[in-house]
Structure 1
Amino acid sequence: MAALAYAAPHFWWGAGIGATFPGDFASAPHGTWEAAVGYWVMGAVAVAGGVVALALVRPWGQRLPRRTLCALSLTASVGMTLWGFTYFALQYLLAAGRVVSAPAFAAKDAHPQAAWGLFWYSLFVLWGLMLGVAAWNRLSSKRTH
């Protein structure tokens, strides 16, 4: 569900709908390869990640190589969790005055829509942790049988 919650907005952003966009949607790239990768490809990657996550807990996933599936899932888990925590560390450093936004990003960081970043990066942390637990359970369940 988390993968679909992440994928859906990427698809509607790609379609030109700015709802829940973490920043100024009007100044974001549209109609470029950056938009195609940022919206459509990332949405497709999220859907594929959802399928991989389901493979960890559904019976049809038993047909896939356990160690490969778990290694990919644990790697993705660490990456997503660190990506989310890094955002919160940066927000702390900005709030504490330890770092300053680059001029190119100052307007984006001050935009009211930037608050959506708290939601999206929380989702990265949550999804990363859930994926790691699912992969670990799949890996350890085979050891006990």
Structure 2
Amino acid sequence: MSSPVPSLADTSSMPEPGRWAGYVTAVCAFLFAVSSFYWGFGGTFLLDTVGSEAVRLVEEGNVGIYVAVWFAGFVKVAGGVLALALVQPWGRRLFRHWMLLIAGWGAAVALVLYGGVQIGIQLMVLGGILVPPGGMDWRGFYGHLYVWDPWFIVWGLFMGITAFYYTRNARRRRALGTTA
């Protein structure tokens, strides 16, 4: 006879907002990874919104830019897998509870801070507080301001919501006397 109290690995009782946040987080990560893999295969659409230097390196066939975008793509995929691990039962089977906590909260903080700092600096440039160097790549600047850096914040906020519900669900289970 099975125990009526679910284990920490059972996320079926994860509150609906927590599960949905995890799925939205994963979609954000996987969509973000698509751009990296597209550029990794040699695509150039919207690459100029990352920066003219990236376009120049691709045009020169620089191997380093390809390594960088492929690496970035795999990191983004890992972020999506992490989000799913926080809301799916297999996450607790593959990873220890503390690993998921640290990774989930760490990713949320890092993503929001990265995007926030970038946008903060860009807003200081727009406000005249910081003076950009001559020959500023304005297409890349606005691409980061309006597309790429807000994406980090959105992704990070959803990761934070996911980590919050994961943490709350795990605490509730421990209070019920279940073990990991």
TM-score by shorter chain over 0.5: yes
- Which residue of structure 1 aligns with residue 62 of structure 2? 32
Name the structure where helix makes up a greater proportion of residues. 1
Q: Secondary structure at the match of 2:44?
A: coil
1:86-141 superposed Cα distances (whole Å, 9 cap, x missing partner): 121111111111112234x61x2x23x54332211111001111111111211121
Contact 2:122–2:141 at 8 Å: present in 1 too?
no
Aligned residue number for residue 73 of structure 1: 104
- 5+ long unaligned stretches in structure 2: 1-26, 174-180
Secondary structure in 2 aligned to 1:16? coil
Tell me the distance in 2 between the aligned counterparts of 1:19 and 1:65. Answer: 40
Q: Distance in 2 between matches of 1:96 and 1:115?
A: 14
Could you tell me the TM-score, scaled by structure 2's length? 0.71
**RMSD across aligned C-alpha pairs, in angstroms?**
1.8
Instruction: Indicate the residue corresponding to 2:31 in structure 1.
Output: 5
| Identical amino acids, percent of aligned pairs | 30
Aligned to 2:133: 102
Give the alignment's TM-score, normalised by structure 1: 0.86
**Structure 1, unaligned runs of 5 or more:** none
Aligned residue for 1:99, secondary structure, equals coil
CA 1:91/1:114 → structure 2, altered by over 3 Å: closer, same or farther?
Answer: closer
Give the total of aligned pairs. 141
